Each structure stands twice: as structure tokens, then as C-alpha cells.
Amino acid sequence: MQNKKQTIALIVSVVLAVGLIVVGVNAVTTVGNNVSVGGTLAVGGTVASVGNLSVGSKATTTAASGNFATLGTITSTGDLYVGAKATTTAASGNFATLGSITGNGDLYVGAKATTTAASGNIATQGTITSARATDIGWAVASSTNAACNTTCTSACVFGWDETDAVITNCTEATADVCVCAGSN
């Protein structure tokens, strides 16, 4: 009888030990609500969130729309893909997009070009090249002794006074031909 009691006690001890190990492992690998990390959090795999993801109240990913907002700079050491519509290639630094680039702040391109939000000015250390094969998008408008800044429906590039055969300032009311930066 003593042997039977020892066997049952051993079986119960083994079952309890295995159960405690399973509960302990589950507790270690499952993260509950409101986790705070005082130092560095290193993740070896993918970080996935089924809800909104906020990073230090400076960046947010919204689960419902997939939108990403940041108050800082986005830096990637690898390729960066944006909604399958834009790509930045890490090896070359090339940027390709199927749409427009819109921003409320300054746009810096590889430390070689800048668009300043406050003024709209564009500065580049390189060449601006058009891929358009037919023209650069300028238009010619006829006028008679007019100022090209009022004749052009887009920005004036310069005017031409046929009488004196000279280039005129866009605000001079002597132009007979206006070169406009855009369709007219």
C-alpha cells in the first residue's frame, strides 16, 4: 500500500510540475496590457499591432486607415516602401513614386536639393532635367504692348518687344510676345 501511495504522489508531483512549467512559460511569452520598458526593447522578429501604434507620442500608425504620422524624421537603413506606390532604394538613394509628393514642411532630397515650405523656393546643387520629349512646358502668348504678368495665365518667364527687338521684364507694358511658364 505504501508503494501505491508513493507512486500516486510521484504522478501528482510530476503533473503539477509540468503544469507549473507550462503556466510559467506562458506568462513569460505573453504580454498583457500597459507594458512599460525602462531601457531598450529589442525584438528579434516582427512587431505587429492590431490597434493603433504610438511611438513616444511623436509618431503614430492608425490601424483603421494604415496612415502613419510623425513629428520627426523617418530614417531607414534599408529600402523604404510606402503603400506599394513609392520606393526609396537604400543602395542607390533613388526615390520612385507613382503619385505626388506633398508636404507641409521643407523637403530635403539627399542633402543635394531643398524645397522650402515657407517660400516655395527650390534649391539644387545639380541640374534639373525634364523627361518631356516635346518641350519644357512653356507657352507663347501674343499681345500688343502689354505686360506679360497679366497676359500669361501662369507665371511669366519674359516678354519680347518686337518694335525694339529686346527682351522685356514681365511687368513692362511693351511686350508683343510673352513666354509663359506653363500652358496658356
pTM over the 0.95 mark: no
Quick one: how many helices (H) and strands (E) in the chain? 2, 13
Comparing C-alpha atoms, which of 146, 145, 137 is closest to residue 184? 137
Coil vs helix vs strand at 17: helix
- Taking the alpha carbons of 13, 15, 18, 20 in that order, is the dihedral positive or negative? negative
Question: Rounded to an integer, what distance in angstroms lies between the CA atom of residue 26 and that of residue 28?
Answer: 5
- Residue pair 101/109 in contact (Cβ under 8 Å)? The answer is no
**Averaged over 99-112, what is the pLDDT?**
72
Q: How many CA atoms lie within 13 A of 21 on its CB side?
A: 6
Q: What is the model's pLDDT at position 123?
A: 80
Q: What is the model's pLDDT at position 161?
A: 95
What tens digit of pLDDT does each residue of 47-96 get? 777 777 777 777 777 777 777 777 777 776 777 666 666 777 777 777 77
What tens digit of pLDDT does each residue of 127-176 get? 777 777 777 888 999 989 999 999 999 899 999 999 999 999 999 999 99
Coil vs helix vs strand at 14: helix
**Identity at 54, one-letter amino acid code:** S
Question: Rounded to an integer, what distance in angstroms lies between the CA atom of residue 178 and that of residue 158?
Answer: 6
